[in-house]
Amino acid sequence: MDFTNPGAFEQQIASHRDYLLRFARLQLRNDTWAEDAVSETVLAALARPQAFERRSQLKTWLVGILKHKVIDALRLQGREVSLSPQGDDASADDLLDQALFAPDGHFAEQPADWGNPEQELGSRQFFAVLEACAGKLPAAQGRLFLMREWLELSSEEICKELGLTPTNLYVQLHRARQRLRECLELNWFANPQAL
């Protein structure tokens, strides 16, 4: 990367802005917070272009910075999203459990064959469907799932940060994974060509 031409570096960063914004919106579920996190990411990258050492692609480096900004935003704004299941989220969880499980706790219907999931991970189309499914999760579950699986925070960090018990966290993550499984089965594995 030629740092003697700051305009070229700025243009390269700007070319990734839309992707960064989608990533931040998916994580934060708030356009203003997402915009702030992306702006802070761009400013941090422009302030220290020499920190980009070409050990990864520019997009990967920017996403790494953005992950830290998203975590900071979640910590700062953590009190604005209620994480206790209330109202529609709680009744929807009960309905989902009733639809997916028999009274004895086993699946009501055998899950669909997912073929080779590792092969599917290489598909951009699959990730688009996964993002859409994650975006449909209830706010509390989506936030917890993204913190655990995409931001790779430990369970202890999430519990400490959000004031949850480990049991509550595991229940919420289980419900989020169930919803994602259902969504992926309907929108990807049942008929991947329909997209």
Place of tokens 């209620």: 82
**Alpha carbons 45 and 35: distance in angstroms, whole number:** 15
Q: State the pLDDT at residue 177.
A: 92
Q: Residue 103: how many CA atoms within 13 Å on its side-chain side? A: 0
Q: What are 63-110's pLDDT values in tens digits?
A: 889 988 988 888 777 655 444 444 445 555 566 666 666 777 777 776
Q: CB within 8 A of 33, min separation 6: which ones?
A: 24, 73, 77
- DSSP-assigned letters across all residues of 51-77: G--SSS-HHHHHHHHHHHHHHHHHHHH
| Residue ranges, the chain, pLDDT below 50 | 81-88, 193-195
104-134 burial by CB neighbour count: b if 16+ within 10 A, else e? eeeeeeeeeeeeeeeebeeeeebeebbeebb
Taking the C-alpha atoms of residue 189 and residue 96, their distance in angstroms, rounded to an integer, is 19
pLDDT of residue 86: 45
The whole-number pLDDT of residue 128 equals 78
pLDDT score, position 190: 72
Closest CA to 67 of 184, 2, 150, 190: 150
